[in-house]
Amino acid sequence: MTDSKPSSNHSIKIIAGSDKIMRRVSKLISVVKFGGSSVKNIGRIQHVAEIVKTRMEDGPVLVVVSAMGDTTDYLIKLAHQASSKPDQRELDHLLATGEQISITLLAMVLRNMNIKASSYTASQVGIFTENVHNKARIVDIRKQTLLDSFRDNEVIVVAGFQGVTTGGDVTTLGRGGSDTTAVALAAALGLIECDIYTDVDGIYTADPRVIPEAKLLERISYDEVVEMARLGAQVIHPRAVELARQYEIKLRIRNTFKPEHTGTVIDGGEDMEVYRTVSGVAVDKDQSSVCIMDVPDVPGIAGEIMQALADKNIVIDMIMQALYPTAGLNNMTFTVNSSDLDETIDALEKMTGRLGAKGVIFDSDIAKVSLIGSGMAGQPAVAAKLFTVLGKNKINIKMISGSEKKLTCVVAASQADAAARVIHEAFGLGDREGT
Ligand code: ADP
Ligand code: ASP
Ligand code: MG
């Protein structure tokens, strides 16, 4: 694909062409995304602009950027100073401003380098989402609007993380959502590749900042990365990988500060399952467990509880209900993202009287530690080894759940990093060559 792209001078002429030519041009565009640490200050934005300039040798470039450094955290803090329970619509409006700063600055730096670049918000390029705030999903992207923005530009810089409803309200896609913006734009353009530039060399067997022995993976399957990302590996947004899998877009995770490094390729990876039982360990400290106690054990109750949470768009995980010593009663326990904890408790407490349940208890001092691997299915020795190593290291397991590609243990938050370290070591994840 790269080889067939015209030089940047040639591409400028094509860009000014007819609709038919524009459709052909769409296939030549590179979509690249830079995260918050890559655009933390003007110096880094200038460095990003140099990478973009190099990428222009292959054709027009669509750049997606996140907010500068910790801007989104800062904006959330401000919102909570303004209100103990910020209105979700207003919060989205506020958060979207973070990316609007970085897109304009990058476009200015590029223009200063005599590159025809313009910045665009999600509403300007037509990234439409559900009418949901804080974790909206993209439902439609207007390809023609996107292409039109290339008519007078060699580079367009699009704000990540944000969207717009058909009613014109600003939405955001959830923390880390700029990755999803990039993949969705690549999909809308019918591209087969998308590069995500970040502050590490690629995807490792564990967070390299917590486990320095973690190994860089040259290649990994969509399925494994979806699990890793859902289970807390911050390196990429899970929905970005789901979209890439759906549209068969090859993702490359690479380091902004070592742009020559090949990074990690995420693709279908069919042949990888054969030789890799486990691929990595992920930790999610942003979790809380919630239990609704002594719920009447009758048909329909679980549905009612889950519906109340679904109505509030609260995502829950590790749902557990088991044998209970008192006939006719049961406990229902699950985990939620800590940012949804207050709303979850509120929704459940409103139901307890009507359901005849005893009450709601929670634990916000927990973390999920997960072992991920496509080759784990049907191998009970993996679970045995995992639980044994935690036990040997005096790490108590509070909850367990598993599926074909992962095993998750809830442990005390203070023990999460130690748990990840001993698991990583027990499975020899740092020892492998050429994975
Ligand atoms: P960006 O600002 O570029 O979006 P993020 O901070 O969202 O970057 O994600 C990059 C970070 O993800 C890394 O700095 C690293 O600490 C963390 N991380 C967690 N798990 C992994 C992993 N398995 N491989 C690589 N990085 C990981
Ligand atoms: N700026 C947003 C965040 O910090 C989105 C992103 O960085 O991907 O979550
Ligand atoms: Mg990120």
Tokens matching residue 167? 């009613």
Q: Which residue's CA is the closest to the ligand 1 atom numbered 11?
A: 235
Going from the Cα of 35 to the center of ligand 1, the distance in angstroms, rounded, reads: 10
Domain with 186 in it: what CATH number? 3.40.1160.10
What pLDDT is attached to residue 267? 94
CA angle 161, 167, 169 (to 5 degrees): 40
pLDDT band for 20, please (50, 70, 90 cuts): low
What pLDDT is attached to residue 379? 86
pLDDT exceeds 50 at position 2: no
Segment 183-190 shows an average pLDDT of 96
Span 72-88, pLDDT tens digits = 999 999 999 999 999 99
Span 267-319, pLDDT tens digits = 997 665 455 789 999 999 999 999 999 998 889 989 999 999 999 989 999 99
Residue 117's SS3 state is strand
Domain closes at, from 191, 219, 238: 191
Q: Residues 169, 31: one domain?
A: yes
Which residues line ligand 2 at a C-beta cut-off of 6 Å?
A: 35-36, 66-67, 72, 98, 160-161, 175-178
Percent of the chain at pLDDT > 70 equals: 92
Span 60-119, pLDDT tens digits = 999 999 999 999 999 999 999 999 999 999 999 999 999 999 999 999 999 999 999 999
Q: Residues 310, 410: one domain?
A: yes
CA angle 185, 187, 188 (to 5 degrees): 65
Q: Residues 180, 301: one domain?
A: no
pLDDT exceeds 80 at position 135: yes
Identify whether 203 is part of a domain: no
What pLDDT is attached to residue 273? 47
Going from the Cα of 29 to the center of ligand 2, the distance in angstroms, rounded, reads: 24
- Report the half-sphere exposure of 200 (CA within 13 A, side-chain side): 19
Q: Give the count of domains, the chain.
A: 2
- Higher-scoring residue by pLDDT: 280, 10: 280
pLDDT exceeds 90 at position 235: yes
For residue 178, the ligand 2 atom closest to its alpha carbon is: 8
What pLDDT is attached to residue 159? 98
Going from the Cα of 236 to the center of ligand 1, the distance in angstroms, rounded, reads: 7
Going from the Cα of 243 to the center of ligand 1, the distance in angstroms, rounded, reads: 19
What pLDDT is attached to residue 276? 75
Give dist(CA 402, CA 392) in Å, integer.
21
pLDDT band for 326, please (50, 70, 90 cuts): confident
Q: Which residue's CA is the closest to the ligand 1 atom numbered 4?
A: 35
Q: Residues 165, 293: one domain?
A: no
Beta bridge partners of 266: 220, 251
Tokens matching residue 47? 């460095």
Segment 166-192 shows an average pLDDT of 97
Of all ligands present, the nearest one to the C-alpha of 161 is: 2
Q: Residues 23, 169: one domain?
A: yes
Of all ligands present, the nearest one to the C-alpha of 74 is: 2
For residue 73, the ligand 2 atom closest to its alpha carbon is: 4
Identify whether 242 is part of a domain: no
Identify whether 435 is part of a domain: no
Q: Which residue's CA is the closest to the ligand 2 atom numbered 5?
A: 176
- Report the half-sphere exposure of 404 (CA within 13 A, side-chain side): 5
Identify whether 202 is part of a domain: no
Identify whether 262 is part of a domain: no
Domain closes at, from 191, 218, 246: 191
Q: Which residue's CA is the closest to the ligand 2 atom numbered 8?
A: 176
pLDDT band for 205, please (50, 70, 90 cuts): very high
Going from the Cα of 206 to the center of ligand 1, the distance in angstroms, rounded, reads: 10
Identify whether 27 is part of a domain: yes
Segment 175-182 shows an average pLDDT of 98
Q: Give yes or no for a contact between 137 and 238, defined as CB atoms under 8 angstroms apart.
A: no
Identify whether 394 is part of a domain: yes
Identify whether 269 is part of a domain: no
Domain with 386 in it: what CATH number? 3.30.2130.10
Residue 352's SS3 state is helix
What pLDDT is attached to residue 8? 35
Going from the Cα of 308 to the center of ligand 1, the distance in angstroms, rounded, reads: 33
Give dist(CA 314, CA 134) in Å, integer.
11
Q: Which of 348-352, 375-379, 384-388 is predicted least confidently?
A: 375-379
pLDDT exceeds 80 at position 123: yes
Domain closes at, from 174, 191, 208: 191
Q: Give yes or no for a contact between 357 and 351, defined as CB atoms under 8 angstroms apart.
A: yes
Domain that holds residue 326: 281-426
pLDDT band for 19, please (50, 70, 90 cuts): low
C-beta of 66 in contact with ligand 1 (< 6 A) = yes
Q: Residues 165, 313: one domain?
A: no
Segment 148-163 shows an average pLDDT of 96
What pLDDT is attached to residue 271? 61
